[in-house]
Chain A
């Protein structure tokens, strides 16, 4: 088990280096001069332009720039935004809890609905429920997030007026962030109705963000369950006289979870990517929206740093998934 963990960590380091290189090169392939963009409509003199290019190090050869960047990273410095002049890490950490809150709620919703739906669909294979779930999953998976989000806003916020259109909490409430998670902070603030307001703001973005993972989890659970239910050990479990709930809910599910957990782990990565769209639609002040804004402003250090931090988080989540995987699957845990 210990060696297994070491091996997994060993893979992460070169992957991370690869990401730094890709992030560094791709952002420089984008057309557009960051210094000119900063100047805006007024423009600037040749001399001032050159000075600013030198100040940010854009005048040096690309390889040197990369070397300097790696050196910075090694010292925990993810760069400074050329727009706000604040450290990228600091900006990221301020906005990150909003994304965590949204993604966490979305993945919890997706698992809570997708897992049982897939299980029941597999057990009642070919039934009306099965067809409904699978059609729903295919629809959910094929829907453009942007369109789906707008549709929900029009219906629930516009026509019915049940939920707010954007933001994390009503402007009526103000309190200092403690954890950065609005649900927790609003409870801690003790203000009447703050928690309920936070929940109402969270519902639509969560549903939109959960749609694709939910569809993927439901489909994966169903197919994994179908495969497992045909195994010999399920017959053994039934031959013991165990109840159908114990046979499917314990003996089959435990085995079916192995591929499902892998998918859930990959979906966390997808969520961070999906959050970019969802956060933009709902003006959710998270890192997805921040990344999009940074790209439009040609804020190289922010995009680069943000990309790296997101990549690092996805890798850490995947490491955790691998560990969970080993916990559930004894065949991995016990390989010598």
Chain B
């Protein structure tokens, strides 16, 4: 049985100009101890999907799904009290901005032990010991001293380590890391990723890594989901994704990686992700796709078979060749 099973999750926001669909029929499933990555540009709804699952979206969000289960328990039907026993204990999350994600008014120790007190009802001494152990685990030197330190006295990397320590405090079964390295220096990024993967293996917890960095994906995940404009456009094993991307968007993303560039000029994807007001009919990627046809502009593509990465495309690519394409266009 899957640890996390989400089918057709849709998140819409009530805005001044009507509803805006930020996440459109996205499915995520994940088994115990698995590492999955969700990639996409800013605004592709990758964080919103996970925040919706955690119940952390503002009240203006409308969350619907055919199924949303964690360990066989229905997260949609659950009351908020019952959900809070899972959130923060079995499912935890770390965020993009470690510096602003810690409360400036409380010490590291206080924030670190809060979940232990709430979920595990640990005593004061026990909590303190566990906090020191956690700070050791995430590689913070002089852990005892750090307990009484305030967040503004920590660097970004240190703050993210504290966030990770907080997240693994109750030995969760699933950790969601929402762009955990985006706000950090490049040298620190690798350290934090290594730390996350080490903790994932040591504690045998499942990890969802949300990122826009293909390099991060390549180093960490076994399975990748590519999001575009709120939709999941492709879903593949990591090896297959890099060797044989099935959606033109994935192919274009990979082609834009500097290390893969064939010529001196780095290829880019023209245009931007559609927003609330310029949402195209048909395929959402059609205005930016180089294989676009009239069919793409008029009708929404059905998902391709699983062996083609469930690509949301009328002409899924195979080895760079769009299948059944009227022009018989070849990859460049």
Residues of A near any B CB (own CB < 8 A): 231-233, 235-243, 246, 251, 254-255, 328-331, 334
Bound CA–CA A328/B105 (angstroms)? 7
Residues of B near any A CB (own CB < 8 A): 54-56, 84-89, 92-93, 95, 97, 100-107, 114-115, 118-119, 150, 152-153, 163, 166
Residues from chain A with a CB closer than 8 A to the CB of B97 are 232
Q: Identify which of B54, B100, B105, B152 contacts A239 (C-beta below 8 A).
A: B54
The answer to whether B118 and A330 have CB atoms under 8 Å apart is: no
Bound CA–CA A254/B104 (angstroms)? 10
Bound CA–CA A235/B106 (angstroms)? 15
Further contacts, 16 of them, CB under 8 A, given A233-B101, A334-B150: A231-B100, A233-B103, A233-B104, A235-B56, A235-B101, A238-B87, A239-B54, A239-B87, A240-B87, A240-B115, A240-B118, A241-B85, A241-B118, A242-B118, A246-B118, A251-B103
Q: How far is the CB of A237 from chain B (nearest CB, A)?
A: 7
**Nearest opposing residue in chain B for A229, CB measure:** B58
The answer to whether B102 and A242 have CB atoms under 8 Å apart is: no
The answer to whether B104 and A330 have CB atoms under 8 Å apart is: yes
Known contacts A236-B95, A254-B106; A330 and B101 CB within 8 A of each other: no
Q: How far is the CB of B217 from chain A (nearest CB, A)?
A: 23
The 9 closest A-B pairs by CB, nearest first: A241-B88, A240-B88, A233-B103, A232-B100, A330-B150, A241-B84, A241-B87, A254-B105, A232-B101
Known contacts A233-B103, A236-B101, A334-B152; A241 and B163 CB within 8 A of each other: no
The answer to whether B152 and A330 have CB atoms under 8 Å apart is: yes
Q: How far is the CB of A157 from chain B (nearest CB, A)?
A: 45
Residues from chain A with a CB closer than 8 A to the CB of B163 are 236
The answer to whether B105 and A242 have CB atoms under 8 Å apart is: no
The answer to whether A330 and B95 have CB atoms under 8 Å apart is: no
**What would 24 A/B residue contacts be, using CB atoms closer than 8 Å?**
A231-B100, A232-B95, A233-B100, A233-B101, A236-B163, A236-B166, A239-B88, A239-B92, A239-B93, A240-B114, A241-B87, A242-B84, A246-B118, A251-B106, A255-B103, A255-B105, A328-B105, A329-B104, A329-B105, A330-B107, A330-B150, A331-B104, A334-B150, A334-B152
The answer to whether A330 and B119 have CB atoms under 8 Å apart is: no
Q: How far is the CB of B270 from chain A (nearest CB, A)?
A: 33
Q: How far is the CB of A254 from chain B (nearest CB, A)?
A: 4
Bound CA–CA A236/B88 (angstroms)? 9
Residues from chain A with a CB closer than 8 A to the CB of B56 are 235, 238-239
Q: How far is the CB of A298 from chain B (nearest CB, A)?
A: 51
Q: How far is the CB of B73 from chain A (nearest CB, A)?
A: 14
Bound CA–CA A233/B105 (angstroms)? 10
Residues from chain B with a CB closer than 8 A to the CB of A331 are 104, 150, 152
Residues from chain A with a CB closer than 8 A to the CB of B105 are 254-255, 328-330
Bound CA–CA A233/B99 (angstroms)? 9
**Nearest opposing residue in chain B for A126, CB measure:** B59
Bound CA–CA A49/B258 (angstroms)? 97
How many pairs of A and B residues are in contact by the CB < 8 Å rule?
73
Bound CA–CA A278/B88 (angstroms)? 52
The answer to whether B88 and A242 have CB atoms under 8 Å apart is: yes
Bound CA–CA A236/B93 (angstroms)? 8
Q: How far is the CB of A258 from chain B (nearest CB, A)?
A: 8
Bound CA–CA A331/B119 (angstroms)? 29
Bound CA–CA A238/B103 (angstroms)? 12
Residues from chain A with a CB closer than 8 A to the CB of B54 are 239
Residues from chain B with a CB closer than 8 A to the CB of A243 are 84
The answer to whether B95 and A235 have CB atoms under 8 Å apart is: yes
Residues from chain B with a CB closer than 8 A to the CB of A246 are 118
**Nearest opposing residue in chain B for A251, CB measure:** B103
Q: How far is the CB of B182 from chain A (nearest CB, A)?
A: 13
Q: How far is the CB of B107 from chain A (nearest CB, A)?
A: 8
The answer to whether A241 and B119 have CB atoms under 8 Å apart is: yes
Bound CA–CA A251/B54 (angstroms)? 19
Residues from chain A with a CB closer than 8 A to the CB of B100 are 231-233
The answer to whether B166 and A240 have CB atoms under 8 Å apart is: yes
Bound CA–CA A330/B107 (angstroms)? 9
Q: How far is the CB of A240 from chain B (nearest CB, A)?
A: 4
**Nearest opposing residue in chain B for A235, CB measure:** B56
Residues from chain B with a CB closer than 8 A to the CB of A334 are 150, 152-153
Bound CA–CA A254/B54 (angstroms)? 25
Bound CA–CA A329/B104 (angstroms)? 8
Residues from chain A with a CB closer than 8 A to the CB of B107 are 330
Residues from chain B with a CB closer than 8 A to the CB of A254 are 103, 105-106
Q: Which of A239, A242, A330 has its CB near the most chain B CB atoms (within 10 A)? A: A239
Residues from chain A with a CB closer than 8 A to the CB of B101 are 232-233, 235-236
Residues from chain A with a CB closer than 8 A to the CB of B85 are 241
Bound CA–CA A53/B55 (angstroms)? 79
Bound CA–CA A233/B152 (angstroms)? 13
**Nearest opposing residue in chain A for B150, CB measure:** A330
Residues from chain B with a CB closer than 8 A to the CB of A239 are 54, 56, 87-88, 92-93
Q: Identify which of A237, A238, A241, A329 contacts B89 (C-beta below 8 A).
A: A241
**Nearest opposing residue in chain A for B92, CB measure:** A239
Residues from chain A with a CB closer than 8 A to the CB of B150 are 330-331, 334
Q: Which of A241, A242, A255, A330 has its CB near the most chain B CB atoms (within 10 A)? A: A241
**Nearest opposing residue in chain A for B100, CB measure:** A232
**Nearest opposing residue in chain B for A242, CB measure:** B118
Residues from chain A with a CB closer than 8 A to the CB of B152 are 330-331, 334
Bound CA–CA A237/B114 (angstroms)? 9
Known contacts A239-B54, A239-B56, A241-B115; A233 and B102 CB within 8 A of each other: yes
Bound CA–CA A263/B159 (angstroms)? 32
The answer to whether B103 and A236 have CB atoms under 8 Å apart is: yes
Known contacts A241-B89, A241-B118; A255 and B95 CB within 8 A of each other: no
Bound CA–CA A243/B100 (angstroms)? 21
Residues from chain A with a CB closer than 8 A to the CB of B92 are 239-240
Q: How far is the CB of B11 from chain A (nearest CB, A)?
A: 16
Bound CA–CA A236/B162 (angstroms)? 12
**Nearest opposing residue in chain B for A244, CB measure:** B80
Residues from chain A with a CB closer than 8 A to the CB of B95 are 232, 235-236
